[in-house]
Copies of this chain bind each other. A is one copy, B any other.
Amino acid sequence: MTDRTVAHATFSIERKYDATPARVFRAFEDPAAKRRWFAEGEEGWEVESFDASFEVGSFERSRFRFKGGPLITNDTVYQDIVPNERIIISYSMTVDGRRISASLATMEFRKEGKGTRLIYTEQGAYLDGLDQVEQRRIGCEEILETLAKELERDSAAA
């Protein structure tokens, strides 16, 4: 008997930002911005390393902990980049050395009035009972909320 299981699931999150597609896209492209909203995020997250990359076929690697907890890793590979329009990544995560998921995530940036509708679609394989799609969706919603704060910050600085 094996305890290996794979739960395949897909979810989408739509989020409106008061910033143009080019500005929202730039928050993904710019390594300093991406580190702030994606890796550092809200209070409690401790970034051990964030090796940014933003080109198709490149790896972007993050190593972090939440409030002194176990090491969490995220290894992302850029699959497709269409400037200001679309980013597709694959990424896998481990917690304490155990792989919890592998995912394909598509981000579509659509102009809507003076802002942007971001459509985030994750097609995930959640592994061995170590992660669940509901939890992943909540995590992604939180990250897309910190992106909103990054864009406000960027806007205030402009």
| A104–B106 CB distance below 8 A | no
Copies in the complex: 2
**Residues 44-74 of A contacting B (Cβ, < 8 Å):** 56-57, 59
Question: Smallest distance from the beta carbon of A122 to chain B beta carbons, Å?
Answer: 9
The answer to whether the Cβ of A102 comes within 8 Å of any Cβ in the partner chain is yes
A95 within 8 A of B: no
Give 5 closest A-B pairs by Cβ, nearest first.
A90-B90, A123-B123, A79-B102, A104-B104, A79-B92
Mark A residues whose CB is within 8 Å of B.
Answer: 2, 4, 6, 8, 10, 56-57, 59, 75, 77, 79-80, 82, 85-86, 88, 90, 92, 99, 102-104, 106, 108, 121, 123-125, 127
